Amino acid sequence: MPDILHRIEVRSSPNDAYKALTTREGLASWWTTDTQGTFDEGGVIQFRFGTRGGFDMKVLELAPARSVLWQVVEGPAEWIGTKVSFELTKNGEFTVILFKHMGWKEPVEFMHHCSTKWAIFLLSLKSLVETGKGAPYPNDIHITGTWD
């Protein structure tokens, strides 16, 4: 069961990074502008990317300023059942974010693609908390010539 792993530091407090991961305004400003749902623990958030499709994430665990854990309950077959986590640690003026997308059944080509897209969106998250402006869908960097 391979995982996607990323590490990124952002110049902000853990609490500000946590807000960007747990509120509609925050998530819509770095991942996709089409973000709706219930953001509390036990809720389901719908992230949509136009004709590319989308994901429904169940919010499994929230630890303020420390961690976020989601599970994919609807979306592409490769994603269903996988879990996504963000762990936050203060490091001076920075917050270290350890990102995981866990439980892929196989390291398929789509996983390579999604890994690159996650890195792009984590840079968007960094930009959001540091400058107030991210690059969520539909303004994300495109990495496939004939799609996305």
Partner 1 sequence: MGNGDRFVYVTFIRTSPEKLWDALTKSEFTRQYWFGSSLDSTWEASASWQLKTPDGGLTDSGKVVEIEKPRRLVLTWKHERFPDMRDDNETARATFELEPQGEIVKLTVTHESDKKDSKLIKGVSNGWPIILASLKSLLETGKPIERTTTFPKGK
Task: By CB under 8 A, name the one of 2, 37, 76, 103 that touches partner 1.
Answer: 76
3-state secondary structure of 102: strand
**Cβ neighbours of residue 79 closer than 8 Å, sequence gap 6 or more:** 55, 72, 114
| Among 5-13, 68-76, 87-95, 127-135, the segment contacting partner 1 (CB under 8 A) | 68-76
- Interaction residues for partner 1, span 88-147 (CB under 8 A): 108-113, 138, 143-147
Phi, psi of 36 (to 5 degrees): -145, 165
User: Which structure tokens are listed for 32?
Assistant: 């996709």
* CB nearer to partner 1: pick between 46 and 67: 46
Which stretches of the chain bind partner 1, using CB under 8 A?
Answer: 50-54, 56, 74-78, 108-113, 138, 143-148
